[in-house]
Chains A and B, each alone.
Chain A
Amino acid sequence: MKELMLGNKAFARGLYEAGCSFVSSYPGTPSTEVTEEAVKYDEIYCEWAPNEKVAMEAAFGASLAGVRSYCGMKHVGLNVAADPLYTMSYTGVNGGVVICVADDAGMHSSQNEQDSRHHAIASKVPMLEPSDSAETLSFVKLAYDLSEEYDTPVIVKMCTRVAHSQSVVETSERAQIAKKPYEKNIPKNVMMPGNAIKRHPFVEERTEKLRKLSETASFNRVEMRDAATTGKHIGIITCSTTYQYVREAFGNTVSVLKLGMVNPLPVDLIKDFASKVDTVIVAEELDPIIENHCRALGINVYGKDVLPICGEFSQNLLKKYLSPIVTGEEYKGEDVSAIEDAIPNRPPVMCAGCPHRGLFYTLSKNKCTVLGDIGCYTLGAVAPLSAMDMTLCMGASVSAIHGFNKAGGGENEGKTVAVIGDSTFMHSGMTGLANIAYNQSDSTVIILDNSITGMTGHQQNPTTGLNIKGDPAGKIDLEALCRSMGFERVRVVDPYDLKACDDAIKEELAVKAPSVIISRRPCALLKNVKHNPPLRVNRDKCVGCKSCMKIGCPAISMKDGKAHIDNTLCVGCGICEQLCPVGAFESCQKEA
């Protein structure tokens, strides 16, 4: 059946059709929907793991037990899971293992723009890279076959434009894959030096076999230009979504070598292609990996000397940078319409009623140094709150505050906090907390417990008490966990109560002891959260002092010198009401 399908949904369909029966992932844009779609198939067991390393090791365990397994993550998640990956390359698999890594060129929703192909090369694990949904579906199935035939995990690399674009796919039935027996095999699966040293040559031989396969396999394909095209013969070597931009920009006037496997890269195929054209261009987003491979083969190519290394590509970007080479003419750009006015930016903001707002307002008011983390609350860095000093990676707030306070002593300890969400804390905040407990800095860690993984679109986690299907599951008690690590000062505040937040932060910063504040209130967007009626402004009382504007609430603006509330956005959280010196905010309900 023909269907229009999101790349990530096509990935999940590929898992289903390939007979995958075990999925363990940690959410991360743009990879999340693979797992959210996979869970809709009853034949596949799915779970959210606390982090990517755990997910990959769980998938490894399932493979060891004999089933086809999967784990998915965003590019930075693969850094967390790099440890198991690099050695799973040595052990290989029992049931096939497919790993999704989704890169985010253009940083639509990420803290860096790393190119995950480096991990494939460094771990010596094969990597396939589809360019649309149909290819995603077929590559996932191919990946399982390669995984079992070549005894290796296989990475299928997505990018934002493949993961989050819908294109047409044809679906088929699920393959009936029998569970393989588990057989104890110490030399293959126990990676201590004496065994691993014998597996390394296997890895090198495997890479060479896969390289040979890549010379002739259909996942790498040559498309020669229209016979009618005259002029200099341009050949473009490309992969992923850039292939689509190449075709969009230059049609069939250029020859294309489209690489579906980006590790290992073919040698003879590339040499042969280069020999048939006058000029070779390598068009790839982010780092010059295919380009460097070509240069190492002694092939003269255009690459990052003409194309950008930063950001996403598009058809017009390729026309801009490559037209002088392809057509011999400058690309002048499209004739566009525009208005003259400066258009105000519309950056993402904390939602109206977001429980993080009251806490960040309090941190801002107390002029705290705030070591932040990854999640919706990173938006606490945005004006007017501007209450964040650092964001690095998952869990870094808790680890970094310890170093910051040890180095800075009492002066830092008295005004610095770490803020981390519930899901991020479970991901990699706990180990940092253990370091504070063990090596004793008087650090104050605030866990923003909104009962969900927010930014990636509401996934359950070990603190919510629900599993990926929303059914009851184990629930980790944050207070008990922190106390068991040796924190004597653990307190819970409601971030809608500004005075309670202020008291808690002042007291915990003043005390000479490590402490944890749990700021607890569910995300305002959760369906089961009951809201108060919206507030309205009594214009007779409002003096236009703008005290309520300090919290950056998207529901509040100034109209004719007085505060105004958009009642389609307001959820009646009452933070503004607590800031108003003249009591101008009233509940709409009282009015009725």
Chain B
Amino acid sequence: MSTKNVMIVGVGGQGSLLASKLLGRLLLDEGYDVKVSEVHGMSQRGGSVVTYVRYGEHVYSPVIDKGEADVIVSFELLEAARWLPFLKKDGTVVTNIQQIDPMPVITGAMEYPGELVEKMKNSGAKVDALDCLKLAEEAGSSKAVNIVLMGRLSHYFDMPEEAWMKAMEAIVPAKFLEMNKKAFELGKNA
């Protein structure tokens, strides 16, 4: 198979590292070669952050370039729009509809663009938007946004649910497991 590309984007501090850890574990368990590229350091202070996950028979580059992502998973709506040029023409955006104002919006220098889901759809992308924060709170913690998104992402992966659960058991601390399983289901069935 050719290498598949998944990008996880969001705002520093939103918990994307756990999501990439889960995906990495899942893909390795399924027998793929995997590379995951992360951002540490300064950008984590509330900046725009991106994680690249690539898998296949043999993966060379750790990064995903413009026009290469099969799926973009976004923790925040504006970030989905920002990274849209990295999506393949027939790719899918799975995004949380939560909006976090960046500093130019906070200071009033720019406006947060409206109707982003529609605009992304009009650009030709398939967009799967959901209120992950609400679903995460329903599952028991606003911090489970990442797992809600992973539940939704599972629609676009040809892998049995047991494999996801097995990866989750390996990654998530036992005391949060039930809550996260619920978050996964809520995301999946949303």
Query: A-side interface residues toward B, CB under 8 Å?
Result: 2-4, 6, 29-30, 32-33, 108-109, 132, 161-162, 164-168, 241, 244-245, 247-248, 314-317, 333-351, 376, 379, 382-384, 455-457, 546, 549, 552-554, 556-558, 566, 568
Q: In the docked arrangement, what's the CA distance between A468 and B92, Å?
A: 43
Contact (Cβ within 8 A) A4 B107:
no
Q: In the docked arrangement, what's the CA distance between A347 and B11, Å?
A: 10
Contact (Cβ within 8 A) B101 A557:
yes
8 contacts across the A-B interface (CB closer than 8 A): A161-B37, A161-B63, A165-B62, A167-B34, A241-B62, A336-B85, A340-B119, A343-B113
Q: In the docked arrangement, what's the CA distance between A335 and B107, Å?
A: 34
Contact (Cβ within 8 A) A568 B142:
yes
Contact (Cβ within 8 A) B81 A339:
yes
Known pairs A4-B36, A334-B66, A348-B12; A339 contacts B41 (CB<8 A)? no
CB-defined contacts of B103 to chain A, threshold 8 Å: 345-347, 349, 382-383, 552, 554
Q: Pick the contact of B61 from A108, A168, A244, A456 — CB < 8 Å?
A: A244
Q: In the docked arrangement, what's the CA distance between A578 and B28, Å?
A: 53
**Does B87 have its Cβ within 8 Å of any Cβ on chain A?**
yes
CB-defined contacts of A333 to chain B, threshold 8 Å: 66-67
Q: How far is the CB of B104 from chain A (nearest CB, A)?
A: 4
Q: Pick the contact of A379 from B28, B45, B59, B102 — CB < 8 Å?
A: B45
Q: In the docked arrangement, what's the CA distance between A315 and B100, Å?
A: 32
Q: In the docked arrangement, what's the CA distance between A382 and B62, Å?
A: 31
Known pairs A344-B104, A384-B107; A336 contacts B119 (CB<8 A)? no
Q: How far is the CB of B35 from chain A (nearest CB, A)?
A: 5
CB-defined contacts of B113 to chain A, threshold 8 Å: 339, 341-343
Q: In the docked arrangement, what's the CA distance between A168 and B111, Å?
A: 43
Contact (Cβ within 8 A) B78 A108:
no
Chain B residues 82-121 with CB under 8 Å of chain A are 82, 84-89, 100-113, 116, 119-120
CB-defined contacts of B178 to chain A, threshold 8 Å: none
CB-defined contacts of B87 to chain A, threshold 8 Å: 336-337
Contact (Cβ within 8 A) B28 A337:
no
User: Contacts A344-B109, A457-B44 given; 14 further ones with Cβ under 8 A?
Assistant: A30-B41, A109-B42, A165-B38, A168-B33, A245-B61, A316-B66, A334-B65, A336-B66, A342-B113, A345-B48, A346-B48, A348-B42, A549-B108, A557-B106
Q: Pick the contact of B41 from A316, A317, A338, A455 — CB < 8 Å?
A: A455
Contact (Cβ within 8 A) B43 A109:
yes
Contact (Cβ within 8 A) A552 B107:
yes
Q: In the docked arrangement, what's the CA distance between A316 and B106, Å?
A: 35
Contact (Cβ within 8 A) B38 A166:
yes
**Does B189 have its Cβ within 8 Å of any Cβ on chain A?**
no
Q: How big is chain B's contact interface, by range?
A: 35 or more
Query: B-side interface residues toward A, CB under 8 Å?
Result: 11-12, 24-25, 28, 33-48, 59-63, 65-68, 78-79, 81-82, 84-89, 100-113, 116, 119-120, 122-125, 142
CB-defined contacts of B33 to chain A, threshold 8 Å: 168
> Which residue of chain A lies nearest to B114 when distances are taken between CB atoms in the complex?
A341
Q: In the docked arrangement, what's the CA distance between A297 and B38, Å?
A: 39
Contact (Cβ within 8 A) A455 B42:
yes
Known pairs A165-B35, A166-B34, A333-B66; A344 contacts B85 (CB<8 A)? no
CB-defined contacts of B78 to chain A, threshold 8 Å: 343-344, 346
> Which residue of chain A lies nearest to B89 when distances are taken between CB atoms in the complex?
A335
Q: In the docked arrangement, what's the CA distance between A241 and B63, Å?
A: 10
Contact (Cβ within 8 A) B106 A549:
yes
CB-defined contacts of A346 to chain B, threshold 8 Å: 11, 46-48, 78-79, 82, 102-103
Q: In the docked arrangement, what's the CA distance between A161 and B64, Å?
A: 12
Contact (Cβ within 8 A) B37 A343:
no
Contact (Cβ within 8 A) B119 A351:
no
Q: In the docked arrangement, what's the CA distance between A556 and B45, Å?
A: 16
Q: How far is the CB of B19 from chain A (nearest CB, A)?
A: 13
Contact (Cβ within 8 A) B65 A316:
yes
Contact (Cβ within 8 A) A341 B62:
no
Q: How far is the CB of A166 from chain B (nearest CB, A)?
A: 4
CB-defined contacts of B36 to chain A, threshold 8 Å: 4, 165-167
Q: How far is the CB of B33 from chain A (nearest CB, A)?
A: 6
CB-defined contacts of B100 to chain A, threshold 8 Å: 566
CB-defined contacts of B43 to chain A, threshold 8 Å: 108-109, 348
CB-defined contacts of B102 to chain A, threshold 8 Å: 344-347
Contact (Cβ within 8 A) A351 B67:
no
> Which residue of chain A lies nearest to B88 when distances are taken between CB atoms in the complex?
A334
Contact (Cβ within 8 A) A348 B107:
no
Contact (Cβ within 8 A) A456 B41:
yes
Known pairs A344-B105, A455-B42, A554-B106; A244 contacts B62 (CB<8 A)? yes
CB-defined contacts of B59 to chain A, threshold 8 Å: 167
Q: In the docked arrangement, what's the CA distance between A314 and B122, Å?
A: 29
Q: How far is the CB of B137 from chain A (nearest CB, A)?
A: 11
CB-defined contacts of A339 to chain B, threshold 8 Å: 81, 84, 113, 116, 119-120, 122-123
Contact (Cβ within 8 A) B68 A334:
yes
Q: In the docked arrangement, what's the CA distance between A11 and B180, Å?
A: 32
> Which residue of chain A lies nearest to B112 when distances are taken between CB atoms in the complex?
A344
Contact (Cβ within 8 A) A349 B40:
no
Contact (Cβ within 8 A) B119 A341:
yes
Q: In the docked arrangement, what's the CA distance between A155 and B25, Å?
A: 31
CB-defined contacts of A317 to chain B, threshold 8 Å: 65
CB-defined contacts of A554 to chain B, threshold 8 Å: 46, 101, 103, 106
Q: How far is the CB of A165 from chain B (nearest CB, A)?
A: 4
CB-defined contacts of B107 to chain A, threshold 8 Å: 383-384, 549, 552
CB-defined contacts of A241 to chain B, threshold 8 Å: 61-62
Known pairs A167-B34, A334-B68; A343 contacts B81 (CB<8 A)? yes
CB-defined contacts of A30 to chain B, threshold 8 Å: 40-41
Known pairs A4-B25, A337-B89; A349 contacts B46 (CB<8 A)? yes
Contact (Cβ within 8 A) B24 A349:
no
> Which residue of chain B lies nearest to A29 when distances are taken between CB atoms in the complex?
B41
CB-defined contacts of B38 to chain A, threshold 8 Å: 6, 164-166
> Which residue of chain B lies nearest to A338 when distances are taken between CB atoms in the complex?
B85
Q: How far is the CB of A145 from chain B (nearest CB, A)?
A: 27
CB-defined contacts of A334 to chain B, threshold 8 Å: 65-68, 88
Q: In the docked arrangement, what's the CA distance between A455 and B47, Å?
A: 13
CB-defined contacts of A337 to chain B, threshold 8 Å: 84-85, 87, 89, 120, 123-125
Contact (Cβ within 8 A) B61 A315:
yes
Q: How far is the CB of A363 from chain B (nearest CB, A)?
A: 18
Q: How far is the CB of A316 from chain B (nearest CB, A)?
A: 4
Q: How far is the CB of B167 from chain A (nearest CB, A)?
A: 11
Q: How far is the CB of B48 from chain A (nearest CB, A)?
A: 4
Q: In the docked arrangement, what's the CA distance between A580 and B122, Å?
A: 43
> Which residue of chain B lies nearest to A166 when distances are taken between CB atoms in the complex?
B36
CB-defined contacts of B24 to chain A, threshold 8 Å: 4, 166
CB-defined contacts of B12 to chain A, threshold 8 Å: 348
Q: In the docked arrangement, what's the CA distance between A351 and B39, Å?
A: 18
Q: In the docked arrangement, what's the CA distance between A119 and B18, Å?
A: 37
Q: In the docked arrangement, what's the CA distance between A214 and B79, Å?
A: 46
> Which residue of chain B lies nearest to A165 when distances are taken between CB atoms in the complex?
B62
